Protein backbone atom coordinates (compact mmCIF):
# COMPACT_ATOMS: atom_id res chain seq x y z
CA UNK A 1 0.00 0.00 0.00
CA UNK A 2 1.12 3.53 -0.77
CA UNK A 3 1.99 5.33 2.46
CA UNK A 4 0.24 8.56 3.43
CA UNK A 5 2.40 11.30 4.92
CA UNK A 6 0.38 14.25 6.17
CA UNK A 7 1.90 17.70 5.72
CA UNK A 8 1.03 19.75 8.80
CA UNK A 9 2.09 23.17 7.49
CA UNK A 10 -1.52 24.40 7.30
CA UNK A 11 -2.09 23.55 10.96
CA UNK A 12 0.93 25.71 11.79
CA UNK A 13 -0.44 28.49 9.57
CA UNK A 14 -3.65 28.62 11.61
CA UNK A 15 -1.66 28.63 14.86
CA UNK A 16 0.58 31.45 13.68
CA UNK A 17 -2.38 33.60 12.63
CA UNK A 18 -3.25 34.31 16.25
CA UNK A 19 -0.05 33.57 18.12
CA UNK A 20 -0.01 31.21 21.06
CA UNK A 21 -0.34 27.49 20.60
CA UNK A 22 -3.85 26.92 19.24
CA UNK A 23 -4.10 24.59 17.47
CA UNK A 24 -1.40 22.55 19.18
CA UNK A 25 0.95 21.38 16.43
CA UNK A 26 2.54 18.64 18.54
CA UNK A 27 -0.83 17.19 19.54
CA UNK A 28 -1.97 17.28 15.92
CA UNK A 29 1.11 15.30 14.85
CA UNK A 30 0.51 12.70 17.57
CA UNK A 31 -3.19 12.41 16.76
CA UNK A 32 -2.66 12.15 13.01
CA UNK A 33 -0.44 9.13 13.57
CA UNK A 34 -3.01 7.58 15.89
CA UNK A 35 -5.67 8.11 13.21
CA UNK A 36 -3.59 6.17 10.66
CA UNK A 37 -1.20 8.60 8.99
CA UNK A 38 1.99 6.71 8.15
CA UNK A 39 4.19 9.77 8.23
CA UNK A 40 4.37 13.46 9.05
CA UNK A 41 5.76 16.01 6.61
CA UNK A 42 6.93 19.52 7.48
CA UNK A 43 8.23 22.19 5.13
CA UNK A 44 9.94 24.98 7.06
CA UNK A 45 10.64 28.11 5.04
CA UNK A 46 13.08 30.90 5.92
CA UNK A 47 10.25 33.34 6.77
CA UNK A 48 8.70 30.74 9.12
CA UNK A 49 5.20 31.64 7.96
CA UNK A 50 3.97 28.20 9.00
CA UNK A 51 6.39 25.58 10.36
CA UNK A 52 9.11 27.19 12.44
CA UNK A 53 12.58 25.76 12.79
CA UNK A 54 12.07 25.38 16.53
CA UNK A 55 8.95 23.27 15.87
CA UNK A 56 11.18 20.51 14.53
CA UNK A 57 12.91 20.10 17.87
CA UNK A 58 9.58 19.51 19.62
CA UNK A 59 8.14 17.31 16.88
CA UNK A 60 11.11 15.01 16.27
CA UNK A 61 10.71 12.76 19.34
CA UNK A 62 6.93 12.58 18.83
CA UNK A 63 7.09 11.03 15.36
CA UNK A 64 6.83 7.26 15.69
CA UNK A 65 6.04 6.62 12.01
CA UNK A 66 8.22 8.62 9.63
CA UNK A 67 9.35 12.24 9.65
CA UNK A 68 9.88 13.88 6.27
CA UNK A 69 11.44 17.36 6.28
CA UNK A 70 11.23 19.13 2.95
CA UNK A 71 12.63 22.42 1.80
CA UNK A 72 15.25 24.36 -0.10
CA UNK A 73 18.71 23.21 1.06
CA UNK A 74 20.02 26.58 2.17
CA UNK A 75 22.71 26.30 4.89
CA UNK A 76 20.25 26.78 7.78
CA UNK A 77 17.98 24.05 6.38
CA UNK A 78 20.87 21.63 5.92
CA UNK A 79 22.01 22.25 9.50
CA UNK A 80 18.44 21.68 10.75
CA UNK A 81 18.16 18.35 8.93
CA UNK A 82 21.56 17.12 10.07
CA UNK A 83 20.77 18.06 13.67
CA UNK A 84 17.39 16.32 13.88
CA UNK A 85 18.00 13.44 11.44
CA UNK A 86 14.55 12.81 9.95
CA UNK A 87 13.78 9.54 8.23
CA UNK A 88 13.66 11.39 4.92
CA UNK A 89 14.68 14.77 3.56
CA UNK A 90 12.99 16.06 0.42
CA UNK A 91 14.85 18.78 -1.45
CA UNK A 92 12.62 21.41 -3.04
CA UNK A 93 13.90 24.37 -5.14
CA UNK A 94 11.78 27.04 -3.44
CA UNK A 95 12.48 30.70 -3.96
CA UNK A 96 12.43 32.73 -0.70
CA UNK A 97 9.15 34.55 -1.39
CA UNK A 98 7.36 31.69 -3.12
CA UNK A 99 3.76 31.10 -2.02
CA UNK A 100 4.04 27.34 -2.54
CA UNK A 101 6.26 24.91 -4.42
CA UNK A 102 5.75 25.34 -8.16
CA UNK A 103 8.55 23.53 -10.00
CA UNK A 104 11.03 20.72 -9.70
CA UNK A 105 14.81 20.75 -9.83
CA UNK A 106 16.76 21.09 -13.03
CA UNK A 107 18.78 18.00 -12.21
CA UNK A 108 21.14 18.57 -15.14
CA UNK A 109 22.15 22.17 -14.46
CA UNK A 110 22.15 21.69 -10.67
CA UNK A 111 23.67 18.21 -10.67
CA UNK A 112 26.90 19.08 -8.86
CA UNK A 113 25.12 21.14 -6.20
CA UNK A 114 22.66 18.33 -5.51
CA UNK A 115 25.41 15.71 -5.37
CA UNK A 116 27.21 17.69 -2.69
CA UNK A 117 24.10 18.17 -0.55
CA UNK A 118 22.87 14.60 -0.93
CA UNK A 119 26.28 13.19 0.00
CA UNK A 120 26.09 15.03 3.32
CA UNK A 121 22.70 13.51 4.08
CA UNK A 122 23.82 10.04 3.00
CA UNK A 123 26.73 10.17 5.43
CA UNK A 124 24.22 10.98 8.18
CA UNK A 125 22.06 7.99 7.21
CA UNK A 126 19.14 10.12 5.99
CA UNK A 127 17.12 8.95 2.98
CA UNK A 128 17.04 11.66 0.34
CA UNK A 129 14.34 12.54 -2.17
CA UNK A 130 14.34 15.36 -4.70
CA UNK A 131 11.36 17.22 -6.16
CA UNK A 132 11.16 16.79 -9.95
CA UNK A 133 8.75 17.52 -12.76
CA UNK A 134 7.52 14.51 -14.78
CA UNK A 135 10.29 14.92 -17.33
CA UNK A 136 12.37 11.97 -18.53
CA UNK A 137 15.61 13.95 -18.66
CA UNK A 138 15.09 15.30 -15.15
CA UNK A 139 14.52 11.78 -13.85
CA UNK A 140 17.71 10.58 -15.54
CA UNK A 141 19.54 13.52 -14.01
CA UNK A 142 18.11 12.71 -10.59
CA UNK A 143 19.71 9.28 -10.73
CA UNK A 144 23.10 10.91 -11.21
CA UNK A 145 22.74 12.97 -8.03
CA UNK A 146 22.79 9.88 -5.83
CA UNK A 147 19.33 10.47 -4.32
CA UNK A 148 17.28 7.52 -3.08
CA UNK A 149 13.93 8.71 -4.38
CA UNK A 150 12.26 11.34 -6.50
CA UNK A 151 9.07 13.14 -5.56
CA UNK A 152 6.95 13.79 -8.62
CA UNK A 153 5.50 17.30 -8.59
CA UNK A 154 1.84 16.56 -9.35
CA UNK A 155 0.35 20.05 -9.85
CA UNK A 156 -0.06 19.60 -13.62
CA UNK A 157 -1.75 16.22 -13.09
CA UNK A 158 -4.22 17.75 -10.64
CA UNK A 159 -4.91 20.73 -12.92
CA UNK A 160 -5.69 18.57 -15.95
CA UNK A 161 -7.35 15.64 -14.19
CA UNK A 162 -10.95 16.85 -14.56
CA UNK A 163 -10.69 17.49 -18.30
CA UNK A 164 -8.56 14.52 -19.40
CA UNK A 165 -7.24 12.24 -16.69
CA UNK A 166 -5.55 9.81 -19.10
CA UNK A 167 -3.60 12.63 -20.71
CA UNK A 168 -2.86 14.12 -17.29
CA UNK A 169 -1.35 10.93 -15.88
CA UNK A 170 0.66 9.89 -18.96
CA UNK A 171 3.91 11.81 -18.30
CA UNK A 172 3.82 10.76 -14.66
CA UNK A 173 3.55 7.08 -15.55
CA UNK A 174 6.44 7.44 -17.99
CA UNK A 175 8.58 9.21 -15.39
CA UNK A 176 7.69 6.70 -12.68
CA UNK A 177 8.45 3.71 -14.93
CA UNK A 178 11.87 5.13 -15.74
CA UNK A 179 12.56 5.90 -12.09
CA UNK A 180 11.74 2.31 -11.16
CA UNK A 181 14.01 1.00 -13.92
CA UNK A 182 16.82 3.21 -12.62
CA UNK A 183 16.35 1.91 -9.08
CA UNK A 184 14.84 5.11 -7.69
CA UNK A 185 11.91 5.11 -5.29
CA UNK A 186 8.92 7.24 -6.27
CA UNK A 187 7.06 9.67 -4.03
CA UNK A 188 4.42 12.16 -5.15
CA UNK A 189 2.85 15.34 -3.91
CA UNK A 190 1.17 18.69 -4.58
CA UNK A 191 -2.56 19.23 -5.14
CA UNK A 192 -3.41 15.57 -4.70
CA UNK A 193 -6.88 15.24 -3.20
CA UNK A 194 -9.76 12.80 -2.72
CA UNK A 195 -10.93 13.30 -6.30
CA UNK A 196 -7.67 12.53 -8.11
CA UNK A 197 -5.70 10.37 -5.67
CA UNK A 198 -7.20 6.94 -6.40
CA UNK A 199 -6.58 7.17 -10.15
CA UNK A 200 -2.97 8.19 -9.55
CA UNK A 201 -2.49 5.25 -7.17
CA UNK A 202 -4.05 2.81 -9.64
CA UNK A 203 -1.81 3.96 -12.48
CA UNK A 204 1.41 4.11 -10.44
CA UNK A 205 0.87 1.50 -7.70
CA UNK A 206 4.59 1.26 -6.94
CA UNK A 207 4.55 4.80 -5.55
CA UNK A 208 6.18 4.60 -2.11
CA UNK A 209 4.35 7.50 -0.50
CA UNK A 210 2.28 10.59 -1.12
CA UNK A 211 2.62 13.79 0.88
CA UNK A 212 -0.69 15.63 1.27
CA UNK A 213 -1.40 18.70 3.35
CA UNK A 214 -3.62 21.46 2.00
CA UNK A 215 -6.46 19.29 0.66
CA UNK A 216 -6.51 16.94 3.64
CA UNK A 217 -6.55 19.74 6.22
CA UNK A 218 -9.26 21.53 4.22
CA UNK A 219 -11.35 18.34 4.24
CA UNK A 220 -10.75 18.04 7.98
CA UNK A 221 -12.63 21.33 8.48
CA UNK A 222 -15.77 19.46 7.41
CA UNK A 223 -15.06 15.87 8.43
CA UNK A 224 -12.53 16.10 11.27
CA UNK A 225 -8.92 14.95 11.21
CA UNK A 226 -9.64 11.30 11.99
CA UNK A 227 -12.23 10.96 9.25
CA UNK A 228 -10.15 12.92 6.74
CA UNK A 229 -7.07 10.74 7.24
CA UNK A 230 -9.07 7.56 6.79
CA UNK A 231 -10.87 8.91 3.73
CA UNK A 232 -7.48 9.43 2.10
CA UNK A 233 -6.24 6.04 3.20
CA UNK A 234 -9.25 4.45 1.53
CA UNK A 235 -8.41 6.21 -1.73
CA UNK A 236 -4.96 4.63 -1.56
Q: What's the confidence (pLDDT) of residue 95?
A: 65
Using an 8 Å Cβ cutoff, are 140 and 182 in contact? yes
Q: What's the confidence (pLDDT) of residue 97?
A: 56
Q: Quick count: other Cβ atoms within 10 Å of Cβ 194?
A: 16
Residues 6+ apart with CB under 8 A from 21: 15
Distances (CA, A) of 142 to 9, 153, 204: 26, 14, 19
Kindly tell me if the per-residue pLDDT of 17 is higher than 70. Answer: yes
Q: Write the DSSP string, 104-131.
A: ---TTTTHHHHHHHHHHHHHTT-EEEEE
Alpha carbon distance 24, 31 (integer Å): 11
Task: Say whether 43 is catalytic.
Answer: yes
Q: Per-residue pLDDT averaged across 169-176, rounded? A: 98
Using an 8 Å Cβ cutoff, are 212 and 192 in contact? yes
Q: What's the confidence (pLDDT) of residue 94?
A: 72
Of these residues, 151, 190, 209, 235, which one is catalytic? Answer: 190
Of these residues, 70, 151, 209, 235, which one is catalytic? Answer: 70
Of all residues in the chain, what percent carry a pLDDT higher than 70? 97
Q: What's the confidence (pLDDT) of residue 99?
A: 47
Using an 8 Å Cβ cutoff, are 34 and 229 in contact? no
Could you report the per-residue pLDDT of 44-98, keeping only the tens digit for each? 998 888 999 999 999 999 999 999 999 999 999 999 999 999 999 999 997 655 4
Q: What's the confidence (pLDDT) of residue 104?
A: 86
Alpha carbon distance 236, 224 (integer Å): 19
Of these residues, 43, 50, 151, 209, which one is catalytic? Answer: 43
Kindly tell me if the per-residue pLDDT of 225 is higher than 70. Answer: yes
Alpha carbon distance 50, 166 (integer Å): 35
Q: What are the residues facing 40 on neighbouring strands?
A: 6, 67
Distances (CA, A) of 127 to 68, 155, 199, 220: 9, 24, 27, 30
Residues 6+ apart with CB under 8 A from 232: 4, 194, 197, 212, 216
Q: What's the confidence (pLDDT) of residue 143?
A: 98
Q: Which CATH class is domain 3-235?
A: alpha beta
Could you report the per-residue pLDDT of 87-123, keeping only the tens digit for each? 999 999 976 554 455 578 999 999 999 999 999 999 9
Could you report the per-residue pLDDT of 28-46, keeping only the tens digit for each? 999 999 999 999 999 999 8
Higher pLDDT, 164 or 98: 164
Outline where DSSP puts E strands in 48-197.
67-71, 88-91, 127-132, 149-153, 185-189
Task: Say whether 214 is catalytic.
Answer: no
Amino acid sequence: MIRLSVNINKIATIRNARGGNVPDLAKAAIDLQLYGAQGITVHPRPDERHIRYKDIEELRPLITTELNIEGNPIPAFVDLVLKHKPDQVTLVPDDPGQLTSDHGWDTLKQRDFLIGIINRFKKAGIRSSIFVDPDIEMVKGAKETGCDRIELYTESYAAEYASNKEKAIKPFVEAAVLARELGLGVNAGHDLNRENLRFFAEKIPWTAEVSIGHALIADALYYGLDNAVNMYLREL
